Amino acid sequence: MAEGTTWTTYDANKMASKEIYGKVLAELGEKNDKIVGVTADLAKSTNIGNFGDKFPDRIFNVGIAEQNLFGVAAGLAKTGLIPFASTFAIFACLRGGEQVRTDIAYQNLPVKIIATHGGLSFGTAGTTHHCTEDYAIMRAIPNMTVVIPADGFETAKAVRACIDIPGPFYMRVGRGFEPPMHDNEDFEFTVGKAITIHEGSDLTIITCGTPTLQAREAAKDLEAEGISVRVLNMHTLKPIDKDAIMQAVMDTRRILTVEEHNVIGGLGDAVAAVIAESGKGCAFTKLGINDEFSVIGYPEDLYARYKLDATGIAETVKELLGKEIEADEDWTDED
Amino acid sequence: MPKNVSVQELKGKAKELRLNIVKTANFAGSGHLGGSLSCADILAALYFKYLNVDSKDPDKFERDRFILSKGHCALAYVPCLAMAGFVPMESLETFNHYESPYGMHPDSKKVRGCDASTGSLGHGLPMGVGMALGLRYQKVNDAKVVVLMGDGEQNEGSVWEAAMAAAHYKLKNLIAIVDRNKLMIDGPTEEVMSIEPIDKKYEAFGFKVIVCNGNDMASLDKALAEAWANTEDKPVAIIAKTEKGYGVKRFQGKVPWHYGAMNSDLFKEAVADIEAMD
């Protein structure tokens, strides 16, 4: 494991997703007076407070009322504004989920939902505050774009990019203790286009969000053992980058999806559907929360338990490499 | 500013709307007759006197906004929009039909002049709060946001989340109207889930409350005038006491006529009842 990737020792102020979100939003707010913020007593926790400190007349705190949060956001958007609505992921997808679907997505309104504390990142807060269902819910809602940045740099880029997306947008980030994966903002980030963060030819890991860094670390460790792993950072879950998936299938014939989400309905299923519809076969494994409620614990312990850390990912890669697949050496003639 | 329209003229519009409701229910095959008839006077007063909306320019930024939070009464709302010139009268014949822009609940992307898609109860007031905040932030100070809710709808918790926010943000440009027709699908509101004292509840939440007879145009007109003239730093709630199915004797106050279909004899009877109204 590379130094600096342990969750508890990382200095959150460096470039954590949640931190950067508020800063970038405040910066965007200077240029665009249509941007407003809405939150449900979590202005501080979700860091939208940075925006609110700068523009006190442009942030609306509705109190602990998530149904109202998204209804109000829809109403604000109806008057031509671009509302950023922030709360914890679990409340965005379930407590206010119908408002997200019916008030925001059905009316195709440009509400930007910034869901923090996603996945297992709220560790000791326990299962009530974990969220391993949001990918499934949000990707099943028409008009919705779903982005899960890997770190603060991607979050910054996603926040800037979502302004130009005309419809609703859902972005899931962690609690703000995530270490950065990129060194700076000097990389290409296009919504809907996966980023290859590690090249390889034996197998491809397709992942998003906080496990992305861990997948890259696993690929580095495996490289030392002579195993060549490609890592695709599928930061946009919807619309998914089908070309990158199929290229990986063609090139490596083995696909491992890694997600901080239930293995039902999330990234793994989205990737599996693309492959199944293509008619091409490959060895395939989904790594994630295996349809169970996550336990209480520090995030790093939970990531280890559910094999979402570099060690667990590397182990799963080896298992998948041992899986037999029907060889078909000449796929290129099938189109 | 409300237009200069007499109570008598508004009564005529309400009567015409009731006829269009039963006709549209006939085109549709069935519909939410009870709640549509109970709120016909409210819609007529809003669209033909109070709301600053223009069928030639339905998206005009400075306009008043209207949300039919009791979305199942699109059967009254869409005919009202047709009478006000937003959609063609003859298009009502497609109501509920395959790929029609009009179904049981209104779709703001398909119904010209409709400010919000509704149907799931308890969604209108939150959206209304958002609109009122958005208009105020953008310095559109003269526009009102009017939300028409059902009385059974008051059971939804989101109504009270929004009510709390409306008062907290002192949204004096927001007018919430409750169509107090006293019945819901399973029976009388006070038997299924009592909402009384509903006026006191809104008052306690920080609203200026006006109670009126929502099927008596003079009483309703007075209440709306008072709401429009509100200068207090608080939202307004109008409790409009109505009768479900009002205008058709067989439907009036009858729980089963929340939703139903009419055969040709019943349709004629309904038309005759409405035509006999003064």
Domain spans of chain A? 17-172, 195-323
Work out the average pLDDT over A190-194: 98
Cβ distance A107 to B116 less than 8 Å, yes or no, reads yes
Lowest mean pLDDT segment, chosen from A131-140, A219-228, A317-326, B213-222: A317-326
The C-alpha atoms of residue B218 and residue A161 are separated, in whole angstroms, by 54
pLDDT at A327: 65
How many A/B residue pairs have CB atoms within 8 Å?
108
Residue B33: band (very low, low, confident or very high) from pLDDT cuts 50, 70, 90: very high
Task: Give whole-number Cα distances, A188 to A149, A191, A273, in Å.
Answer: 13, 10, 26
Residue A331: band (very low, low, confident or very high) from pLDDT cuts 50, 70, 90: low
Q: Are B32 and B104 in contact (CB under 8 A)?
A: yes
Report the residue from B119, B135, B165 with minimal CB separation from A79.
Answer: B135
Work out the average pLDDT over A23-32: 91
Give CA torsion, residues B203, B206, B212, B217, to 10 deg.
-170
pLDDT value at A13 more than 80? no
pLDDT at A6: 33
Pick the CATH number of A195-323 from 3.40.50.920, 3.40.50.150, 3.40.50.2300, 2.30.30.90: 3.40.50.920
Sequence-distant (6+) residues with CB within 8 A of A90 are A117, A128, A129, A130, A131, A133, A134
The residues of B whose Cβ lies within 8 A of any Cβ of A are: 61, 65, 107-109, 115-117, 119-120, 122-123, 125-135, 137-138, 140, 157-158, 161-162, 164-165, 168-169
pLDDT at A21: 79
Fold agreement between A17-172 and A195-323: yes
Work out the average pLDDT over B232-246: 98
pLDDT at A47: 74
pLDDT value at A4 more than 60? no
pLDDT value at A171 more than 90? yes
Residues of A in contact with B130 (CB under 8 A): 38, 71-79, 83
Burial of B264 (0-12, 13-18, 19+ CB in 10 A): exposed
Q: What is the DSSP string of A20-82?
A: HHHHHHHHHHHH-TTEEEEESS-TTTTSTHHHHHH-GGGEEE--S-HHHHHHHHHHHHHTT-E
* B7-275 CATH: 3.40.50.970
Q: Is the pTM of this model over 0.90?
A: yes
| CATH classification (class only), A17-172 | alpha beta
Q: What is the pLDDT of residues A266-300, one digit of tens each?
A: 999 999 999 999 999 899 999 999 999 999 999 99
pLDDT value at A97 more than 50? yes
Nearest CA in chain B to A61: B165
Task: Give whole-number Cα distances, A145 to A161, A238, B61, in Å.
Answer: 11, 5, 28
**What is the distance in angstroms between the Cα of A55 and the nearest Cα belonging to chain B?**
12
pLDDT value at A113 more than 90? yes
Neighbours of B6 (CB within 10 A): 11
Work out the average pLDDT over B41-70: 98
- Percent of chain A predicted with pLDDT > 70: 92
Residue A184: band (very low, low, confident or very high) from pLDDT cuts 50, 70, 90: confident
Parallel/antiparallel/unpaired status of strands B145-150 and B174-180: parallel
SS3 A265: coil
pLDDT value at A151 more than 70? yes
pLDDT value at A17 more than 80? no
